[in-house]
Amino acid sequence: MSDNTPDPLSKRAAELLAIAVTVAREAADTARSMRAEGVSGVSTKSTDTDVVTAADRAVERQVIAALGALRPGDTVLGEEYGGTDGAGSVRWVVDPIDGTVNYLYGLPQYAVSLAAEVDGVAVAGVVRNAATGDEWTATLGGGAYRGRRRLGGSTQTDLAQVLVATGFGYDAKRRAHQAEVLTRLITRVRDIRRFGAAALDLCLAAEGGVDAYFEKGLNPWDHAAGGLIAREAGLLVGGLDGRPAGPDMVVAAPPAIFGPLTELLAELDAAGGP
């Protein structure tokens, strides 16, 4: 008889996921209720279109406080407040509101993204659309889920039939290069979609709502949870030329498409430019 006892890492991942889901749900409630009261405290960061609101800051403070109470000693890395100095092997990576411009405009495509890493490897992740309540989760080796539904990504094998989601940076010079790449890419695939939140784009790819996703310029908090969800749904997630996913490029695609897509993106210098 096979031993059904979960291995220690799976058990730990499940425990971390339970905490992540509890914290993310409370954070998403805050984001949604603050939006209902109207956007406040708007300022800008890297450019005059890179906005941050009072809700981004409040939600991240809430996540930091909740994790500090539940997991004292862990490190938390967040978009708005950077990293705390935890002593343990667990690091939490949080984007309090991914899709901040959508949040600013009241477009229902913004999410709380929270991942738990053990020794630098994401083992649990949750992405929760704060506007709709849609929620995606994954644990390392445990599969990806939307609610209780197990996810499998696209099985597309023909690059010319691929619906690709992507995004653009806040810097106009970077967007100019990204637009040049896009004008040459769009005739080589089915079509493009741009929804405005990397974490949700990765979840959409995980459930086959688009076939693939790529973007240059993401931060760890944009893709830590969504990248695990996409991987656990059977997609390959990485950068170009065999590099890991990172600020130069994040690509998520089904195994048959990942190679041709990354080769095409490299040919188009998609990781290049400002």
Q: What is the contact surface with ligand LIP in residues (CB under 6 A)?
A: 79, 95, 98-100, 167-170, 196-198, 215, 222
The minimum distance between CB 245 and ligand LIP, in angstroms, equals 13
CA–CA gap between residue 173 and residue 182 (Å, rounded): 14
Residue closer to ligand LIP, measured from CB, 92 or 168: 168
Residue 178: CB minimum distance to ligand LIP, A: 9
Please report, to the nearest 10 degrees, the dihedral formed by the alpha carbons of residues 239, 60, 71, 22 taken in order.
Answer: -90
Burial bucket for residue 121 (CB in 10 Å: 0-12, 13-18, 19+): exposed
Q: Provide, rounded to whole angstroms, the least separation between the CB of residue 259 and ligand LIP.
A: 23
CB closer to ligand LIP out of 105 and 184: 105
Residue nearest to ligand LIP (CB): 167
* CB closer to ligand LIP out of 145 and 213: 213
CB of 13 or CB of 261, closer to ligand LIP: 261
Please report how close the Cβ of residue 52 comes to ligand LIP at its closest, in angstroms: 8
Residue of 210, 60, 31 lying closest to 132 (CA atoms): 31
| Nearest distance from C-beta of residue 201 to ligand LIP, angstroms | 6
Determine the Cα–Cα distance for residues 96 and 265; give it in Å rounded to an integer.
Answer: 30
Q: Is 153 or 196 the residue whose CB approaches ligand LIP more closely?
A: 196
Bridge partners, 78 (sequence order): 82, 94
DSSP secondary structure string for all residues of 86-125: --SSEEEEEEEEESHHHHHHT-S--EEEEEEEETTEEEEE
